[in-house]
Amino acid sequence: MRCARLLLLSIPLVTTGCTAVILSDREPGAGGAGEVPAAYQPPAGRCRVWYPDRAPARQPPVGDCAVLSGQVPPGAVLVRGR
């Protein structure tokens, strides 16, 4: 099983106040800040707002990508299920 690791870029999007995020496939347990454990990955076609400074069990629930994409606060990222 593979796990996605977030590579956070410090490029603010001026019109939305969101932070850009790149999702890439990494081996589980590769470590590093921003890693989303496999058990917390959203299913394909769904998304989750992820706060890198929060414990996995304290993350918001999975939701609709179209809705969540407009609700990503500064410091959080949008994780898309694959």
Tell me: the pLDDT tens digits for 4-42? 444 443 333 333 333 334 343 333 344 445 679 999 999
Report yes or no on whether pTM surpasses 0.85. Answer: no
Instruction: Return the pLDDT at 34.
Output: 60
Residue 37 to residue 18: CA distance in whole angstroms: 22
Residue 22 to residue 2: CA distance in whole angstroms: 16
Residue 68: is its pLDDT beyond 90?
Answer: yes
The domain ranges of the chain are 3-80
42-65: average pLDDT? 96
Sheet with 77-80, strands from edge to edge, namely: 63-64, 46-50, 77-80
